[in-house]
A and B are shown apart, each in its own frame.
Chain A
Amino acid sequence: MFCPVLREAEKGPVGSGYLLSSEFVFKVLVVGPREEVKDRFLLSMDSNSYFLECFKSIVGVSLQVNVINVKGRMVKIQIWDVYDSPPFKSMFHHYFKGAYGAIVLLTRRVEGEAPKYIEEIYKHCGKIPVLVIIVDERSPQELFIEYGDSYIEDPIESLKILSERIFERRSEPLYLRLSYSTLPPYAQLLSRRKLENLATIPLNVPLIREVLEAMGFCTENDEVILRDERAIWTVDLRTGEVYLQPIQCDECERDCVKKEKVCMILASSGWSSNPDISQSDLLVIAKVYAIANKELPPDVQEKVNEILACPYKENKKPERRRRKRATRQEIRI
C-alpha cells in the first residue's frame, strides 16, 4: 500500500519567496527510452520552473523544479529526469529512492514497454502513483475524440494529475495520451539548453562504429577517413569533430596543407529505432554520410570551398610572383 509521508517544503535561508511559499515537496521521476521526447516534454513546462541544469550526461540525471497549485495547495515538484542508458542503469536505485510519483513517457510505437518501466519503478520505490503518458503523433482533436478524459492537452496537466493522485494515495497506473504537436520543437530545445550541453552527452562510439560499418564505412582507431580528389576528411568518432586537410597542389608552398576544423551542428532532430542511439550519435553519423555523399549543406560547403581554395592561385599568385621578381631586382641592384 502506498503511504507517503507528505513533507513540508524546507524553509532554509537560501531560496526565493516562490520556493518558500510551497507547502509540499514531491520528488517525481520521469523515465522513458527517448531522451529528446523527455527533454521536449520537460521543456514545455520550463516557463514555470526556476531551476534547470543538464547534468544528465555527467551523472545520469537532470533536475527541474516546478511549483504548481493543486487545489489551493502550493506543491513543489522536483522532477528527476533519469537518463535511460546502460552506463547509468546501475545507479537507478539511488535516483529512484524517495520518489513520490513517476511519469513514464513513451511513444506510441513502444507503448507496450510500459509494464517494464512500471515494474522497475515499483521495484525501487514501492507502489507509488505512476502516470504512463503515450506521446502520439495524431492531432489533439483526434486524440480527444478517441481518448476523451485520458487525453491531456498540456504536459503541465500531468503534474497536477500526478500530485492529486499522490495526495489521494492512488497507486494504480494511469494511462494518458498527449499529442506530439503540443511539445515544443527540438530547435527550441537546442537553443534553451545550448549546443554545448548537447555536445557533452557522451558519444556511444562502439554503436556509432557498428552503424557506420553496416553502412560500408571503414572505421580505424575510432576515426573515419574519407578521401576525394581535393581533400582528406577525418571524422573523430570519440569527439564528433571533423577535420579537413586539402591535398597539396603544385602551385603553393605547402601553406594550405594544414588541417582545418569544420563545424557541423544539428539543424533538426533525428530518430532511430535503436533507443541507445542518441541525437549526438546521429549527428556524427550524419556528418560522415554527408561528407561521403557530397551532400553538405550550402553553408558548410562554402566553408569547405574557402579552406580548399589555393591561396596562391588566381588573384594572389601574380602578386606573389611580382613580389618575388621585385625582390630579385632589388638584390641585383
Chain B
Amino acid sequence: MSESSGKLGLLKFVSKRSIRVGELLAELGVSKDYFTVIVDGRKADSESLVDEGSLVIVLPRIAGG
C-alpha cells in the first residue's frame, strides 16, 4: 500500500484508484474537523482528485493566542 519515493525516505500513499478528497475525508471520519487539505503541496477542495502516489496532508485545526 505504500512505497518509498527515494527522497528522504518519504513514504507516499498509493491509492489503488483515484479518489476524491471528500471521499477520503469521509473514509477517515474527519469530514468537518480539520483545517485544510493539501495534496502534493497544493490546497485541495472536496472535489479534488487524489491520484496514485499523491502525498495527502489533512492539516489540523489550530487554536491559541
Contact = CB atoms under 8 A, between A and B. Distances in A.
Interface size class of A (residues with CB under 8 A): 35 or more
A303 B65 contact: yes
B63 A110 contact: no
A327 B37 CA distance: 58
Given A108-B27, A210-B10, A302 B65 contact: yes
Nearest to A262: B64
A86 B31 CA distance: 30
A276 B63 contact: no
Interface residues of B, number: 34
Contacts of A210: 7-8, 10
Nearest to B60: A270
Contacts of B38: 211, 215, 285, 289
Contact of A297 (B13, B57, B58, B64): B64
Interface in A258-274: 262-274
Contacts of A300: 62-65
B22 to A, nearest CB: 14
A236 to B, nearest CB: 16
B3 to A, nearest CB: 11
Nearest to A304: B65
A157 interface: no
Contacts of B10: 207, 210, 274, 276
A268 B58 CA distance: 11
21 contacts: A86-B9, A137-B26, A181-B29, A210-B7, A216-B41, A266-B61, A269-B33, A269-B60, A271-B58, A272-B58, A273-B13, A274-B57, A275-B2, A276-B9, A276-B10, A282-B57, A286-B61, A289-B35, A289-B38, A300-B62, A303-B64
Interface of A: 86, 108-110, 112-113, 137, 180-181, 206-207, 210-211, 214-216, 262-277, 279, 282-283, 285-287, 289-290, 295-297, 299-300, 302-303
